[in-house]
Structure 1
Amino acid sequence: MKTTTLFKTLLLFFSCVSMTNAQEILTIEQAMQIALENNYEIKIAKNYLKIEETNVAAGNAGMLPKATATVVQNNNLQNLSQTRTDGTTTSLDNAKSNSLNYGVGLDWTIFDGFKMFAKKDQLKELQKLGETQLRLTIITKISDVQEAYYNLVQQQQQLSALDTTIVISNQRLTLAQNRFTIGKASKLEVLNAQVDINTDQVALLRQQELYANSKLILNQILARDTPMDFRVSDEFLISEKLEFAILKTEAEKQNPQIQALLISKRVAELALKQIKAARYPTLKVNTGYNFAENESSLGFTTQSSARGLNYGFSASLNLFDGFAQKRNEKIAGIQIENAGIQIAQQNQALNTQLATAYQTYLTNLELIRLEEKNQEIAQQNLAITLDKFRIGTITTIEFRTAQLNYVNAKVRYSDAQFQAKLSEIALKELAGIINF
């Protein structure tokens, strides 16, 4: 009896080892690195940042001159009749005339009330906003990767628990069959053991399905081929030394959402500065070199040409625009005020989220310790129950109860670790210190 049971246990063990060796072991560090390289949302955010970096240019702020080259040609075909002052008349059918003008010109705004400098600073702030948005995207995606990864760790541990209960159920069936053979048990005991094995196998199949689907989800986040198979670590790495005061300080300095709102307020302030620039005069200089050629079949001048340099300047000052300037400044001021309100609102929300997440974190750490003790007790109880069942001093119902208690204790312990890890990830995400 013991030899048969040992053989089945070893067979299952080596089968699991063979399956493990055939699959890639994906670490959490590898998963995060793959996400940084492949994730589509991170790639899009990086491209948006490239756009903002490209926009930071003196020409985009209006600081550089504009040079243009122009060519204009006109051709006419007309029936003309002219009467001169001396009374003579001249006429010509299909008279041709044409003109050709070409040249280069340069326009340069040399003063616009410092608007161009405010625009350049605003472009730099928008680049910083792009960097912050990229960091927010990366933190969010890395958080998703970690949650999906440790969900797989949990699913893997639960698969192990169900594998264990099937081994135990097989031992129970073997014992029941042996007892029935020697006349110490009824056929009903054998049937009950077989039913329980079938129930355990159904639970195992469901868990395998959930595990496989969780792999597909992680592969999707990593932007890999979804059928790619792999295994994850068998353990949770949980930090138990997070301190609320440190997390709060880091959140105030590094939380991407707060940083984005601070930058947005600075952008609004620079927008107001650009609007106020309209109160100052605008001074432009211009110069150019032009060529002109004209031909006519009829007239006092049948051909002319000219070339030369032109230069000058222009100045303008808004004297009255229907109070539009005052209205625009007032609206820009309100937008700055709203940006400040949004910062205060986000700070309050962040502090609330941090406080609640930290309390959940502490509770989950305590639950880990409790569930670990429960698992140890359930394991001891199962070992004692199994010995008693072998000698026939307890019923099959009592044995099944001890078996299920042990499996449920392992599942609850795994879930407690997973929930604690989720709490840790959430806290680090809020504080902007999540590792990647």
Structure 2
Amino acid sequence: MPETKTPLPSGARDPRLDFFRGLSLVMIYLNHVPGTIYEHFTSRNFGHSDAAEGFVFMSGCAAALAYGPKMAEGLNWPIFRRIWGRSWLLYMVHILTAVWAIAIVSGAALWFGGEALLTKNAFLPLTTEPLAFLVGIATLGHQLGYVNILPMYAVLLLGAPFLIRLGQRWPLGLLAFTIGFWVLTGMTRLDLPNYPFEGGWFFNPFAWQLLFSLGILTGLALRNGHRFVPVKSWLIWPAALWAILCAIWVKSDYLMETLGHVVWQLRQWGAPFFLVDFDKTYVSGPRLTHFLALGYLLSLPGIVPRIAASAVMKPVRLLGRHGLPIFATGTVLAIFAQAVKEVHPGGFLQDTVLILGGLSIQWAFAAIRERIKRPPQSAAQMPAIPTPGVPALPDPHRFAAAAR
């Protein structure tokens, strides 16, 4: 039976996007407060990829949904101004979060005996090369640990108009370009430079553009009412088997040793590192294929879309609708939680307060923003756009702009 196409009206939202983006924000916060029991329940403990891959993929999807309709007739100056303005906003938010991270760590070291924090997460040049450190922070050449994903996203947005337009005109051309550029990046180790440290960015935008572009292709297809990758049994079973194998792999010492030796042997035979290693900077093969398998399975019609659209998941969708401010707030709160744990290790009760308290603050902030930025009544009365297999939600907030 041919696939039914129901184009997504401009301004409408797919609840799955908000849900998974909100879920990614929760898991990023848990992962950014290491040493708690809660970090053991995030996706990185059940495969080779983590929430960062999902966040970048969904950012590409949201960009296509938000900006694609305004590029239907081609590239134009208003769309450049809007997207590049968003990139500038990301830079400013990154600088703000970096300044707060520096202030929190500095305060912990000055007044609470947290000097050890200055030796972690790339804070050391603050004490050894303070002038070079400041230059690096401002120019994005020096990025602090746990405060380093927004620069990559800002760079990706600079190229977003061209990627979206290419995806509109020639989807397979964008697919070929993004895979080819990823391969070229891995083969040449192309990256943006660090300063004052040597090397390149941890989140290499030239490699991560692959996930961003795949998100664009997915978003463009969603806007047109169909899937970029169709539902096929010959795709479902390999994806499911690979996701299961990866989940067992990361939990099994035997598989870690055995398959780790296989990877080592492939490297000895000359296999490119970015195809077989577990390098996050270059979105290496095992991480990429695990994310693609997991993303494909989660996109299938049925129970997952129903969960994403359910009333009980409304708080998670609320976080996802306000992705950038919630991510920035969570980043600052995570650095604060790290400082608290360094100064006072505490235990399960303290960890619970830090984790649940931080998530509660983020949710409250999102709720306040939702209240302030509630769309006018005329916009709220737009018809509901059902996710495949999911009844339309009566929540009018879903129909605000597709990406803030």
Q: How high is the TM-score relative to the length of structure 1?
A: 0.20
Q: How high is the TM-score relative to the length of structure 2?
A: 0.22
Question: Whose RCO is larger (CA < 8 A, sep 6+)?
Answer: 2
Structure with greater strand share of residues:
1
